[in-house]
């Protein structure tokens, strides 16, 4: 599936790729509605309705991923709410073995995530995955979400990489589309980002069940 001799840099997503997306889905779809209902005197169903409308309005933009935006918009301390359920943060199977393998093969390993720096810090403190990266880059540092062409242009300016010799793995098909348009040579998706969710399908991308599939 992968000719490692043709790859110099590996860009990896965080949520849904290296970490089980169940944490984020539970947080935004279950935990935040409970706390929002308490804060604003709503019942649970009303809170979910209001929140889902707010989510839909900014989905895919930088605000959608911004802890500061949601703290202001919802009048909630989003980082603190994440810490309340941090026990649900979990590394997906074979991730650490894969990261070690990449370094053994001499690849530059870069985390490229839409997650806000505050969220990244919480998750790294819980998992210790930060030790495996040569660099950690968030879309908030660059001012553009990964779904946007400008993200990849800004990334190129701070991380001098050959797009044709880069592998990028992400669970978000829109993000992969943007990477493909920029010319990233090797693209892989994740079949089941949320361990408790449904498997995905896509006609244009190879979907991984496990990182074991690309450890040669």
Chain segment 142-154, per-residue pLDDT in tens: 999 999 999 999 9
Q: 15 with 104, same domain? A: yes
Q: 40 with 75, same domain? A: yes
Residue whose pair of structure tokens reads 């000719």 in the numeric block:
3
Mean pLDDT of 90-118: 97
| In contact, 168 and 186? CB cutoff 8 Å | yes
Percent of the chain with pLDDT over 70: 100
User: For residue 107, what is the DSSP state?
Assistant: -
Phi-psi domain of 183 (left: phi exceeds 0; alpha: psi -120 through 50; beta: other): left
Q: What is the pTM of this model?
A: 0.95
Mean pLDDT of 16-28: 98
Residue 141, domain CATH = 3.40.50.1000
Q: 167 with 63, same domain? A: no
Q: 68 with 163, same domain? A: no
Q: 130 with 79, same domain? A: no
Say how far residue 77 (Cα) sits from the centre of its chain: 21
Q: How many domains does the chain have?
A: 2
Nearest to 202 by CA among 214, 183, 180, 184: 180
Q: 162 with 128, same domain? A: yes
Model confidence at 1: pLDDT above 80: no
């Amino acid at each position: 599936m992968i000719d490692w001799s043709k790859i110099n840099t590996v860009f990896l997503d965080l949520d849904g790729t290296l970490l089980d997306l169940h944490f984020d889905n539970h947080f935004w779809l279950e935990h935040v509605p409970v706390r929002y209902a308490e804060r604003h005197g709503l019942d649970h169903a009303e809170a979910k309705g209001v929140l889902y409308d707010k989510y839909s309005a900014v989905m895919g933009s930088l605000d959608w991923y911004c802890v500061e935006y949601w703290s202001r918009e919802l009048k909630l301390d989003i980082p603190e709410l994440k810490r309340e359920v941090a026990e649900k943060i979990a590394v997906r199977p074979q991730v650490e073995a894969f990261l070690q393998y990449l370094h053994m093969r001499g690849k530059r390993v870069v985390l490229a995530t839409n997650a806000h720096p505050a969220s990244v810090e919480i998750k790294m403190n819980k998992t210790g995955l930060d030790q495996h990266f040569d660099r950690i880059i968030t879309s908030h540092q660059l001012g553009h979400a990964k779904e946007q062409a400008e993200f990849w242009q800004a990334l190129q300016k701070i991380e001098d990489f050959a797009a044709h010799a880069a592998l990028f793995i992400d669970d978000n098909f829109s993000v992969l589309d943007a990477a493909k348009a920029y010319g990233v040579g090797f693209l892989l998706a994740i079949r089941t980002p949320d361990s408790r969710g449904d498997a995905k399908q896509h006609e244009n991308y190879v979907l991984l069940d496990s990182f074991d599939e690309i450890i040669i």
